[in-house]
Amino acid sequence: MTVTAGTAAAGSGAAREDGYAAQAIRGLTYLGRLFGAEAGFDTAARDAVEALFAGWGHRTTRGIDEPEAARGRAPFEFSLVMKDSGPEIRIFLRPLSGEGPTTADSSWQAGWRAVHALEEQGVASLARARTVRDLFVPRSDRAAFGLCIAATVRPTGVAGVKMYFDTLAAGTAENRRVIGEAMERLGLGDAWQWLRRQDPEGMACLMPAFFALDLDDSPQARIKFYTTVDERSADALRARLGRLSGTAGRSAAGLLHALSAGGPAALAAPGVRPTLCWNLTQGERQRPGDATLYLPFQRYTPSGDEALDRLRPYVRAEQLTRLDRFLAHCAADGAHDRAERQLPNPFHWAAAKVNREVVGPLTLYVSAAVVDGASRAES
């Protein structure tokens, strides 16, 4: 059975036109149209939402457990991996309970049901996730979210499924120990020790949330965890990433300069900090193979038109034209307002791996609300 805005979602009762599942389907199908997805994408989007939102897609609110900053926002967002062959469209979500407030435990249970169903369909493998599962079972009132899931949606179906474990599951004091134990169990103890020696800043400022696994058994499947970037200059950022390689240091500083209207001085400004993600695979047991730098793109470059200009070196002209169309759809009253107002940059984050001579592909992150507004403006 396929979930649509007018049908029943599995296990959830009647789906609602304004429910999260319907909103996610609208967003995915809009992005598929925008970027010229192949035939079959709309069906794949509906099937993906049915699998990922099973049991709670009818909901229209997140519940009372969320911090004030999250109230009124959908529990999912979209991202676009701007590959030369065309963008990959991804969705990232926190599973909710079917009814009532969502706790870390109920999110954990709902998330495991969803990924287990994907494993039975042959599109995910939980072998490594089961190895570390007990470390991340929510057992503290300081647990942040329980479990999150991400997946790529293609015309052929769901791919690239990822699980994001809550490193605060056992409380804030256990954050570092839990990550280190997970790395040891996954055979990456030496890489963990390398990071403790070479990135003391990151180990002191571990992002208190995500430890992520690609849910496949290939040698390229990644293990990722996140740290805060507290550096206040491009030179300091370059020096920190330079411990991985000179290329990584230069690329990180270059990305900051390219995507910030104020250049490297953006690092010295107050507000949301960039994030650094260390990427490892089973073949990288001694040290990370790469790192991903996440920049608060919307804050660093508020203007949509300037954002497009800054994306030009990283995005093919055809796809840049489609992003320009997206900005027009994001205008409150439709595309005709483009000449009358300064459109905002809709992408709250931009990220790229940096341990490579040519940075890219860039990944752009956009909220569910922005995409929903653009889809309605298009129609």
Give the C-alpha separation, 291 to 278, whole Å: 5
State residue 326's pLDDT score.
96
How far is the CA of 346 from the CAs of 49, 289, 310, 367, 369, in angstroms?
23, 31, 14, 8, 10
CB count within 10 Å of CB 196 equals 13
| Sign of the torsion angle spanned by Cα atoms 373, 375, 378, 379 | negative
Query: Do residues 359 and 11 touch, judged by C-beta distance below 8 A?
Result: no
Q: Residue 348 is encoded by which pair of tokens?
A: 């709250």
Give the C-alpha separation, 82 to 353, whole Å: 13
Q: Residue 227 is encoded by which pair of tokens?
A: 């740290």
State residue 342's pLDDT score.
73
pTM: 0.92
Show pLDDT as tens, one digit a residue, over the chain (379 residues): 233 333 333 334 345 678 999 999 999 999 999 999 999 999 999 999 999 999 999 999 887 655 555 566 899 999 999 998 889 999 999 999 999 889 999 999 999 999 999 999 999 999 999 999 999 999 998 888 999 999 999 999 999 999 999 999 998 888 889 999 999 999 999 999 999 999 888 877 666 578 999 999 898 999 998 988 999 999 999 999 999 999 999 999 999 999 999 999 999 998 999 999 999 998 889 999 999 999 999 999 999 999 999 999 999 999 999 999 999 998 754 444 555 557 899 999 999 999 998 887 999 999 999 999 999 888 6
